């Protein structure tokens, strides 16, 4: 007896195969990586653009993020989600791959930014009003801890300079109280807080890339307040004290923004307050080694990932300028005018390009960091912050 013949004869096999492939393509988009992606804040329309640093193009827009006139972003550890902290206290978890809002809450009245824990499980917001920090489950955005910034005199301060440390600890500063606090959230049900006197009016802070030194810039005095988080029992130390040399400070029209991007080649490059200078400090001795005169009040002082250059932008009314410092020569080598109101700069992960937002030109311009020439432009409505997913792997970002 002969075996039964198959129902589908060979004549129909190829068309059936093609049809199933086509329907397969329509329902399952090709997987893509997120390592070369980022977001650009469009500050006046409450929208972010998802951008690609390989193609140097925008992929999508995600509206509905509230007041982004000041906004800051951290990324989930899998580089899939951007947590956008908005000025109005909005906290939005944006799915970068699907260009959609995964979750959104309003957690305060006036907020300045946030951080993500070492293990990626907690997202923490720093708030001006009501002053304090709030920790959220990174998955669900459920509130898990709330630490008001009330000092021993009962005064509630604006919180600035939030940075993640190891072990789900967070360091932050209190503007009015002049204090540095370190909150241990390794057990969110029972946060432990250590408090230190820092100095007059800390306006922002950074943590060094190794997560060791927390450094708060001071507005009310010449100097910075530094805490060695590996030896906290030593307390807060002043560095660069008296750098103003008793001279009348120049007006500061916008506060500098501090991050670990200031550290390169064994030195920290820090914006002076009220002086048109970048202050250079040796990160072994914490003594000043140089000062580099620049065009105006620095706002962002950022090392290219290889540390060979420091790119600097400036406060109003000189925010149309950018300068480049060569760290080997220790001086400014390029003075650029990339556009009107350069609010932010962000290096591609390995630093071959830098993206600059030109708020008043409604564009983001991409510069080749070797040639210092523009290589691409993207349209954006009043762009401000630019954040790439490579931040996910960096402590303090």
Partner 1 sequence: MKPAISFPCICLSGLGLTAALLPLAVSATEVAVPAPRAQELVHMVRQDCGSCHGLTLKGGLGPALTAETFRQRPAESMVATILHGRPGTPMPPFKGIINEAEAQWIVQQLQAGFPNE
Q: Output the smallest distance, CB 265 to partner 1, in A.
A: 31
Spatial CA neighbour of 37 closest among 334, 395, 397, 389: 389
CA atoms within 13 A on the CB side of 56: 19
User: Of the two residues 63 and 266, which places its CB atom closer to partner 1 in the complex?
Assistant: 63
- For the chain, helix (H) and strand (E) counts, in that order, are 1, 32
Q: Output the smallest distance, CB 56 to partner 1, in A.
A: 26
- How far apart CA 342 and CA 364 sit, in angstroms, is 9
Q: Output the smallest distance, CB 22 to partner 1, in A.
A: 48
Spatial CA neighbour of 387 closest among 97, 50, 123, 162: 50
User: Of the two residues 88 and 210, which places its CB atom closer to partner 1 in the complex?
Assistant: 88
Q: Which residues contact 235 (CB under 8 A, 6 or more apart)?
A: 196, 227
Q: Output the smallest distance, CB 199 to partner 1, in A.
A: 14
User: Of the two residues 172 and 175, which places its CB atom closer to partner 1 in the complex?
Assistant: 175
- How far apart CA 307 and CA 265 sit, in angstroms, is 6
DSSP string, 330-364: TEEEEEE--SSSEEEEEE-TTSSEEEEEEGGGTEE
Q: Output the smallest distance, CB 254 to partner 1, in A.
A: 5
Q: Output the smallest distance, CB 252 to partner 1, in A.
A: 6
According to DSSP, the residues that pair with 123 across neighbouring strands are 116, 136
What are the structure tokens assigned to 365, written together? 């311009």
User: Of the two residues 199 and 305, which places its CB atom closer to partner 1 in the complex?
Assistant: 199
| Interacting residues toward partner 1 by CB under 8 A | 43-44, 67, 69-70, 87-88, 110, 112, 128-129, 158, 175, 201, 203, 219-220, 251-255, 316-317, 341, 359-360
User: Of the two residues 157 and 208, which places its CB atom closer to partner 1 in the complex?
Assistant: 157
**Cβ atoms of residues 155 and 175 within 8 Å:** no
Q: Output the smallest distance, CB 62 to partner 1, in A.
A: 19
Quickly list H helices, the chain.
Answer: 10-27
User: Of the two residues 257 and 267, which places its CB atom closer to partner 1 in the complex?
Assistant: 257
User: Of the two residues 3 and 251, which places its CB atom closer to partner 1 in the complex?
Assistant: 251
Q: Output the smallest distance, CB 133 to partner 1, in A.
A: 17
User: Of the two residues 99 and 341, which places its CB atom closer to partner 1 in the complex?
Assistant: 341
Other beta carbons less than 10 A from residue 362's beta carbon:
16
Other beta carbons less than 10 A from residue 121's beta carbon:
17
Q: Is the dihedral of CA 363, 92, 351, 217 positive or negative?
A: positive
């Amino acid at each position: 007896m002969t075996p039964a013949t198959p129902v589908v004869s060979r004549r129909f096999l190829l068309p059936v195969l093609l049809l199933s492939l086509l329907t397969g393509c329509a329902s399952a988009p090709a997987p893509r990586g997120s390592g070369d992606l980022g977001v650009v804040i469009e500050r006046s329309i409450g929208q972010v653009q998802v951008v690609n640093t390989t193609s140097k193009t925008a992929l999508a827009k995600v509206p509905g993020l509230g007041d982004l006139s000041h906004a800051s972003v951290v990324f989930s550890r899998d580089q899939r989600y951007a947590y956008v902290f908005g000025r109005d206290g909005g906290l939005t978890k944006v799915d970068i791959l699907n260009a959609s809002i995964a979750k959104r809450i309003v957690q305060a009245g006036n907020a300045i930014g946030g951080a993500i824990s070492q293990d990626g499980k907690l997202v923490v917001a720093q708030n001006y009003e009501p002053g304090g920090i709030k920790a959220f489950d990174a998955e669900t955005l459920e509130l898990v801890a709330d630490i008001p910034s009330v000092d021993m005199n009962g005064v509630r301060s604006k919180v600035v300079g939030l940075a993640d440390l190891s072990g789900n600890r967070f360091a932050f500063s209190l503007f009015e109280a002049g204090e540095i606090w370190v909150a241990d959230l390794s057990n969110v049900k029972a946060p432990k807080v250590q408090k230190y006197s820092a100095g007059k009016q800390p306006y922002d802070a950074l943590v060094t890339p190794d997560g060791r030194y927390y450094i708060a810039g001071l507005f009310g005095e010449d100097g910075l307040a530094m805490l060695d988080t590996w030896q906290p029992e030593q307390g807060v130390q002043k560095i660069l004290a008296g750098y103003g040399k008793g001279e009348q400070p120049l007006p500061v029209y916008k506060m500098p923004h501090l991050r670990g991007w200031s550290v390169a080649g064994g030195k920290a490059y820090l914006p002076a307050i009220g002086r048109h200078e970048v202050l250079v400090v040796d990160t072994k001795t914490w003594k000043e080694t140089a000062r580099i005169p620049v065009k105006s009040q620095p706002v962002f002082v950022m090392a290219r990932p290889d540390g060979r250059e420091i790119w600097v932008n400036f406060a109003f009314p000189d925010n149309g300028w950018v300068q480049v410092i060569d760290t080997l020569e220790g001086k400014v080598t390029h003075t650029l005018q990339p556009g009107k109101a350069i609010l932010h700069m962000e290096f591609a992960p390995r630093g071959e390009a830098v993206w600059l937002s030109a708020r008043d030109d409604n564009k983001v311009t991409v510069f080749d960091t070797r040639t210092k020439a523009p290589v691409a432009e993207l349209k954006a409505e009043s762009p401000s912050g630019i954040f790439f997913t490579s931040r996910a792997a960096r402590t303090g970002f």
